[in-house]
Chains A and B, each alone.
Chain A
Amino acid sequence: ETGVTQTPRHLVMGMTNKKSLKCEQHLGHNAMYWYKQSAKKPLELMFVYSLEERVENNSVPSRFSPECPNSSHLFLHLHTLQPEDSALYLCASSQDLASYEQYFGPGTRLTVT
């Protein structure tokens, strides 16, 4: 295990639903990340938090809303998603932004119907 956990592991939701993804890291890291991984495509960086402050919002649609209440927890709130949002959503953490070593969680497999 990498020390980064994500729940739920699988999620199926309709386009009108509201759901949240949760990430928790037990490594004492100060930076956390959300990535989207679609089949046969490189990981796409969505959001970056450093010391609970958002430092990156990579042109992500507003139907994705991140929240970082403390340095150990990261949420991704979802609402009115589209079928093309179906993907694996990965959370990662690193000691700080200057550290290139990122530790990934197992991901949440999201299916939008």
Chain B
Amino acid sequence: KNQVEQSPQSLIILEGKNCTLQCNYTVSPFSNLRWYKQDTGRGPVSLTIMTFSENTKSNGRYTATLDADTKQSSLHITASQLSDSASYICVVSAANDYKLSFGAGTTVTVRA
């Protein structure tokens, strides 16, 4: 069964600090991995997408990494801002399957 596990479930950081979120998956055969940001009361919005051959992808202060051998990904947030407070969801696609596998998300709270 395709599964996506995220850790931690939630975290609190001070504004300006960095943090790293983790995602482990068992989806096979692997196609791509996305990180979504979901603000409170909003739908998820894609931050990054990585395929098998990519191991790093950046979007502003967000940097995602992928290790396809160990089936792990991370999302690093640099110099956090209050607007980074949101839920971050790891989503993995299997080849030839339109169904996505979702993690439960990590809730990030940035405090001034």
Contacts and interface: CB of A to CB of B under 8 A. Distances in A.
A101 B46 contact: yes
A80 interface: no
Interface residues of B, number: 23
Interface in A57-91: 90
Q: Chain A interface mostly helix, strand, loop or mixed? A: loop
Nearest to A96: B98
Interface in B19-43: 31-32, 34, 36, 41-43
Interface in B78-112: 89, 93, 98-105
B104 A42 contact: yes
Nearest to A101: B46
B64 interface: no
Given A90-B43, A107-B42, A102 B104 contact: no
B14 interface: no
B41 A102 contact: no
Given A40-B9, A48-B98, A107-B42, A100 B104 contact: no
B45 interface: yes
Contacts of A98: 98
A21 interface: no
Contact of A97 (B31, B32, B98, B102): B98
Q: Which 8 A-B pairs have the closest CB atoms?
A: A104-B43, A42-B102, A97-B98, A43-B102, A100-B93, A104-B44, A106-B43, A42-B104
Interface of B: 4, 9, 31-32, 34, 36, 41-46, 49, 89, 93, 98-105
Interface of A: 2, 4, 9, 31, 40-43, 45, 48, 56, 90, 92, 94, 97-98, 100-102, 104-107, 109
